[in-house]
Amino acid sequence: MYRFQDVARPAATAAKHFVGTPAMRMASSLCPGEYSAPSVETSIPGPKSKKLLAELSQIQPSGSVQLFADYNKSLGNYLVDVDGNVMLDVYTQISSMPLGYNHPDMLKALECDENKKAVVNRPALGVFPGADWPEKLRNTLMSVAPKGMDSLTTMMCGSCSNENAYKNMFMKYQRDKRGGTSDFTDLEKESCMINMPPGAPKLSILSFKGAFHGRTLGVLSTTHSKYVHKLDVPAFDWPIARFPVYKYPLHENLRENEQEDERCLAEVEELIEKWEKKGNPVAGIVVEPIQSEGGDNHASPCFFQHLQKIAKKYNAGFLIDEVQTGGGPTGKMWCHEHFDLETSPDIVTFSKKMQTGGYYLKSEFLPDMPYRVFNTWMGDPTKIVLLDAILKVIKRENLLSVVEKSGDILMSGLRELEAEFPALINSTRGRGTFITFDAADTKLREDIVNRLLTKGVQSGGCGVVGIRMRPALIFQPHHAHMFLDRLRQVLAETK
């Protein structure tokens, strides 16, 4: 019933180890003047980073800080730290740098007086937008809107985008119950002020184990990736379904993975019906197209197609969280475009590579009264200035094609390394350059990430054993070969 489909395009050719002179490598770069290769001068973090960390620790919590960067010297795919170490960055600020560092088109966008004034005169967009705001939105965010999504709400970050999108689903669900109107009774108005029904109804959002949708209070009830995010914080009584856990290689486990889809989808329906009986009906379903923070967990297109049908069956909103996957890293502007959904999702949230937060939504999910989804800033016009430059470069340089080519090399190269070092790494998976492979255990994962750093590669972990790649869209085939060579060195040196 649920035909499983692979989650990664097969590579056309096997990866070759990196060859070519530094001059050749720079000449082919989409960022002129980019460094030709990594260069490690000190330990990482180095002495200057450690000194700054001690200073910062006296001001604010800084346990998560890995190093201090020199953003004046960072360029293209290379991050430079304050100690002069030049690192090939395949993590790019947690997947948020579409054109790498100091791209000339983005710098140029901030040179004109009009855009400088957008920085100086930051408006409360929900009340006092500038005359050019509708045009800017049409030319940027709406120009890449997922097919069938005709409305937009701008926000500041990924968490607040999901937070407010949940409100849209709740409001639409209740409006439908009222017959399509927002004529509130006096009892609803009074009861909501003391957090009681019927004005503050019992409603829920269904999410998935392993999911990450943010750290603010509401969305935290739908985040299930790491306990450190959730400890000591009260949570809503909302249903949590199993997300497919596939066996790799995919082509050797087709039937078992199809059955996993069936089990997970059946559980979604069971939970919706259970929460309906509890008097806490599911008003929306939220899902990532790839569970990123939780370990780069993939599901088949068939899983998402049937999940959307379940949402429609129970009149629940269908929200796809593209905060990390949106903006092109999977080879399409939006990862859910790989799934051939029957119709567009009801809501798609975004941030990171899109520079600003926000969400696309179908018009029926818009509130029919002002101030129901609102804050002072409602986004940031300066980020739209940067996004305009980014989208022009993506189109001019055909960067989604670059993503596919580099992704093919990474996928085939990693699978070769899996075959060469089967006791060390496994389960390579991904779309485009949005790729992860697993280490044999958590200790080895941390060791590989740390030793890649000593060879000038900045990477990151996800889930329990995953090592994730989140390079910029300008990450080219020679960068992919460079990464694979250094990873092979690390694996060969592992005892």
The answer to whether residue 260 scores a pLDDT higher than 60 is: yes
Instruction: Report the pLDDT averaged over residues 319-341.
Output: 98
pLDDT in tens, 104-120: 999 999 999 989 998 89
pLDDT (tens digit per residue) in 417-474: 999 999 999 999 999 999 999 999 999 999 999 999 999 999 999 999 999 999 999 9
**What are 32-81's pLDDT values in tens digits?**
889 999 999 999 999 999 999 999 999 999 999 999 999 999 999 999 99
pLDDT > 90: what percent of the chain? 91
Burial state string for 76-88 with b = 16 or more CB within 10 A and e = fewer than 16: bbbbbbbbebbbb
Say what the pLDDT of residue 337 is: 98
The b-or-e profile of 58-71 (16+ CB within 10 A means b, else e) is eeeeeeeeebbbbe
DSSP-assigned letter for residue 252? G
The mean pLDDT value for 259-266 works out to 98
Single pTM value for the model: 0.93
Report which of 290, 349, 363, 288 is spatially closest to residue 162, judged by C-alpha positions: 349
pLDDT at 21: 35
Catalytic residue chosen out of the listed positions 185, 343, 376, 442:
376
End-to-end Cα separation, the chain, in angstroms: 45
Average pLDDT over residues 172-183: 94
Is 321 known to be catalytic? yes
Identify whether the C-beta of residue 14 lies closer than 8 Å to the C-beta of residue 55.
no
How far apart (Å, rounded) are the C-alpha atoms in residues 186 and 477? 64
Q: Are 320 and 361 in contact (CB under 8 A)?
A: no
Q: What pLDDT shows up at residue 29?
A: 52
The catalytic position among 81, 83, 321, 438 is: 321
**The predicted structure's pLDDT at residue 418:** 97
The active-site residue, picked from 208, 212, 318, 350, is 212
Residue pointed to by tokens 């009861």: 191
Q: Which residue has the tokens 């869209």?
A: 473
212 is catalytic: yes
pLDDT at 285: 98
108 catalytically annotated: no
Task: Please give the pLDDT value at position 30.
Answer: 77
